[in-house]
Structure 1
Amino acid sequence: MTFYENNTLQSISPEKAHAALFEEYYRYVKAIVFNRLRSFSDEDIEECISDIFADIFFSFSKGSYAGDIKVFIGTVARNKSIDHFRRHSRNAGKAVYLEDESTPDIRSGEDIAGENEKKELSQVLMDCINSLGEPDSSIIIKKFYYDMDSKQIAGELSMKPSAVRVRCSRAASKLKELLAARGFMEGIL
């Protein structure tokens, strides 16, 4: 329905013009209102729709609009539903409904799945390192966790640096096998 058609029908019979407008745009208005007020009761939504059509009919009877009807109806529906939301929120102790489009998304900066994978991998890795036994587990921890060189490790464990390098190499190979047996791919060490 165009503005001209509505004006023509309005001049013949205002009731028929209102009924035709309501029938044609009811679902459109309801979709707009429902997207804004989906957490409200059905009665609140219907009340808002009634208020929207009352405003539309009043505007057309005054002749205060001469543009595209669908754009006008969409604008009135959007603004009225926002006003209804604000009024209802103010009266309800400033409640915020998370389903409303105007409410910002609440997101955490954490990657929970990624953090759980890291924790699981760390736990499995520590279990495998501890299963190597002494002094291999101490050598691996000092080498890779504390970033110590073989001379420093040898000084702490009373070993020769060459013996630390050989044991570290063998322990790393054994650790890779243990991790592969638990289903972890290479590239961890």
Structure 2
Amino acid sequence: MTSRELAEMMQRSPADCHKALVREYGRYVYAIVFNRLRGCGTKEDIEECVSDVFADLFMKCQFDLSSENDIKSLIGTIAQRKSIDRFRSLCAKSKHITDTDDDDMTELASDFSVDEHVDRTELRRVLLDKIDELGEPDSTILIQKFYYNKNSSEIASYLSMTAVAVRQRCSRAMDKLRAKLVEVGIER
């Protein structure tokens, strides 16, 4: 959802805009907040913080009608900041976290990050959608090559094409895919 779409929706119906935002970004915000508060907060604390994120988004943010930028990064930043503030207030109330030393905290750290996992999942979903938009046989060629690690000869026999044709189609499909990903703000 872009800033322009959000501003237009907000002018039509703030309630519908809020519902659409929660429907589209609710899991993303929940993952960020949960990752920060899972060690010190209750389920109610997490849900309250998620609600605060969306309330803060509506109360403090003005959306630019001319902007085509995706607001996901804005929402992610607000969620990070709100969850950090909530974490600090919860820790201040329950002195048990602040009394531990640094050695104990390293044992509590986890290598798994929920918000990074959600971001990777979202990126995969967008990537597969854009590959699907390429149509046949380009989408099949890219899927077979990059997801199933098949070479050009194997793909060619599967699609009844020559290996040279598969390589050429793959190259062109990659160029088209890059352009589609740039359109949605994904660059690498």
Compute the TM-score of the two structures, normalised by the length of structure 2.
Answer: 0.48
Higher relative contact order (CA 8 A, sep 6+): 2
Larger Rg: 1
